[in-house]
Structure 1
Amino acid sequence: MFRREFLATGSALGIAALAGCGSLESRAIDIPPVLDNRPDAIYVPGHVEGMNMVGIETTGEYDVALSYSYPHRFWTVTGTDVERTSTEEADSVHLMATVWDAETGMILPEVGVAIEITQDGSLVSEETVYAMLSGPMGVHHGANFAGLDEGDYEVAVRVGATASRPTGAFAGRFEEPATATFEFTFDQETMGEIRFDRLDRGGERGAIEPMPMGAVPTGVAPATDDLPGKAVKAMAGDIRYVATVVDPPAGIEDEGPYLALSPRTRYNGYYLSRMGVSVSLEGNGESSTEETLTRAIDPELGYHYGTTLPREGEQGETASRERDELSITVETPPQVARHEGYETAFFDVPTTTLSL
């Protein structure tokens, strides 16, 4: 299961106060109910919330940003099952961690992240937080945390190895865990100044644009023209696919042309991680070849799903595959938690075809 978090920078959107205790959904900011007219697609949520940045730290191979906002509802995805998680009476804050490669600035969607909160050396709360997707913030990890009184805390963000295969210049990297430590002051008055805004377009097809995050990446996939090889693209539902065929990068032992498939969100081009994707390749009168793709991370190809393809032509020659038709099927939707606006998307994605 996964948890949801959202954030909008302090410069975004309208303002409202957070006052008193109790469930956030009954507090003074008057969070609107979940929309009744949500499409089975990406949509504009009925409201957005702001955030405050705690800081950015470098630890091991990683840069880590920590930020916070109000506790709020989100949706978890397990297989094809979606479950809403509402705020609890004891929830104090929503903490969000963004992790990226310190050398290239590329976000790492599949690292494990845990957050530990201590005060004066005593444990206050600890959670394994979850991969999430939101409109303004994009790809990150987060969770609601309970039981905080006003005061100063130490927050340790523990980053584990990536679950996606590192290739290219990333081969052999992101195997060692690391911890970033932050000083965090929890203050209700400061929380009450975090911005909050209702949106008149709530429920319409579309998405909120990424917020300005300064040095913090949002997980936008590389543009088609920035990928190596002859990249081609196709659309299926709210997924934009970009595919390219290149020589096998470092970390790929099999010979033959390497297919890198980059699924990203329809509107903002965010990486879609933790999917199950298969492809069927047909061309030149040959029978189809079916492959299940492997999730990978590469400084040139970005986060992608890859496999080597049957070689055409003479041994040792990387062949052009311009006559091949690639059919793409989503076997498992992205196993990430969703902010409002994404919780109904990426299910029942139609199979699509593109020409390599």
Structure 2
Amino acid sequence: MRRRVFLEIGGAAGLASLAGCLSAGSPSPEVEPGPPWRRDGEVYHTGHDGGMEMIGFAQSGSLTVGLSYAFPTQFWTVAGSRRNRIDLTDRNDAVHIMASVWDTDTETVFPIASGLRVSVERDGSSPIQKALWPMLSQKMGFHFGDNFTLEEWGEHTITVDIGSPSLQKRGGLQGSFEGIDSVSFEYNFQLSKRNYNISGTEKINKRGTHAAVPPMQMSRHPLSFAPRPSEIPGRLLGRATSGDADFLVFADDSSLVVSPRTPFNRFVLPLMSLSARIERDGQTVTEGSLTPTIDPSRDYHYRRPIDGVETGDTITISIDAPPQTARHAGYESAFLEMSDVTITV
């Protein structure tokens, strides 16, 4: 009988069998086009809560890089509003390497549109080099990742080249993250450790529900949580939903501030293109694009200077491009088809 395996973040429904498939000399597993319980246009709870293992932490200037790995996994890339499934078809895929970058003092996680470049090398052999995808997962929120082959298991040197984020920095982050830095890690990848230490747990009873796998809890590793409404400075003007994402709209000093986040886990949704229009008494007061911005009190958000808002004003936020991030299972059908959101002050 031919066994069917559904691949999800960090692993698969039958890890012992899949581990055998991925070992040298074994056939590749059959990869499904997507779990049958996927909810079109919405976030859904996956059938497997995948595990992960920390490789380590390294500092460069004001930044900290956290590096981890999981079982190789299927994921989806995004270009515009189109997604492309990256199947796990190479039986030599050994690990899914994940990296996060944050400001050491404030623990603010930095999204970088261009991704991070990673080199994996063993004993001076030809390095495996990739630009990691900016990604969203239900356990980690925003991070960078990709599947990697390994010529053999054992000690490896992993070098992470950090680019510079193309977004406005405010508050305590002004002047940080200048130039291009790199950090290195030494790690002993072991097949047995990958197969049995990061297996995760099945979540059959919850799979397909309009919910999410809980975020991971790991010391020293901050996640890209958006602040709660009460934590964001300024006046909350309203909130709305589009593409299953939550949008909070604020008036902050002399700016309009928009904070999109995932439902359930409250992760920021970066790398979007947003524009806004404010209408008063049937006339447009201001309109134009919003600037991606990051600061410790608002985390990743979008803003535009305004002269102020008044009671009765109508604010329309247009999603000109959804989050240009790859997605792990559970997020791949959400945050793509996103209609305008409108609130009345």
Scaled to the shorter chain, the TM-score interval is: 0.7 to 0.9
Unpaired runs of at least 5, structure 1: 248-256, 312-318
Separation (CA, whole Å) in 2 of partners of 1:240 and 1:263:
6
Once the two structures are TM-superposed, the CA of residue 285 in structure 1 deviates from its matched residue by 5.4
Tell me the secondary structure at the aligned position of residue 135 of structure 2.
Answer: strand
Instruction: Identify the residue that residue 25 of structure 1 maps to in structure 2.
Output: 29
Instruction: Identify the residue that residue 217 of structure 2 maps to in structure 1.
Output: 212
Separation (CA, whole Å) in 1 of partners of 2:123 and 2:141:
34
Separation (CA, whole Å) in 1 of partners of 2:96 and 2:175:
33
Instruction: Identify the residue that residue 180 of structure 2 maps to in structure 1.
Output: 177
Letter of the 1:66 partner, please give it: L
Identical residues among aligned pairs (%): 32
Instruction: Identify the residue that residue 250 of structure 1 maps to in structure 2.
Output: none
Separation (CA, whole Å) in 2 of partners of 1:47 and 1:5:
7
Instruction: Identify the residue that residue 264 of structure 2 maps to in structure 1.
Output: 267
Separation (CA, whole Å) in 2 of partners of 1:334 and 1:320:
27
1:352 to 336, 341, 344: 341
Instruction: Identify the residue that residue 95 of structure 1 maps to in structure 2.
Output: 97
Once the two structures are TM-superposed, the CA of residue 198 in structure 1 deviates from its matched residue by 3.0
2:110 to 108, 111, 120: 108
Separation (CA, whole Å) in 1 of partners of 2:27 and 2:323:
29
Say if 2:301 is the partner of 1:304.
Answer: yes
1:145 to 131, 144, 148: 148
Deviations 1:37-81 (A, max 9, x none): 421211112223211111111112211111011111000101111
Instruction: Identify the residue that residue 246 of structure 1 maps to in structure 2.
Output: 252
Q: Normalising to structure 2: TM-score of the pair?
A: 0.88
Is the 2:101–2:109 Cα contact (8 Å) retained in structure 1?
A: yes
Matches within 5 A, 1:1-356: 6-7=9-10, 16-17=15-16, 18-19=19-20, 20-21=23-24, 22=26, 25=29, 34-40=34-40, 41-87=42-88, 88-110=90-112, 112-193=115-196, 194-200=198-204, 201-237=206-242, 238-247=244-253, 257-283=254-280, 286-309=283-306, 311=307, 319=308, 321-356=310-345
Letter of the 2:44 partner, please give it: Y
Letter of the 2:108 partner, please give it: M
Separation (CA, whole Å) in 2 of partners of 1:59 and 1:53:
18
Tell me the secondary structure at the aligned position of residue 127 of structure 2.
Answer: strand
Unpaired runs of at least 5, structure 2: 1-6
Separation (CA, whole Å) in 1 of partners of 2:39 and 2:271:
23
Letter of the 1:303 partner, please give it: Y
Is the 1:64–1:99 Cα contact (8 Å) retained in structure 2?
A: yes
Is the 1:35–1:202 Cα contact (8 Å) retained in structure 2?
A: no
Tell me the secondary structure at the aligned position of residue 152 of structure 2.
Answer: coil
Instruction: Identify the residue that residue 4 of structure 2 maps to in structure 1.
Output: none
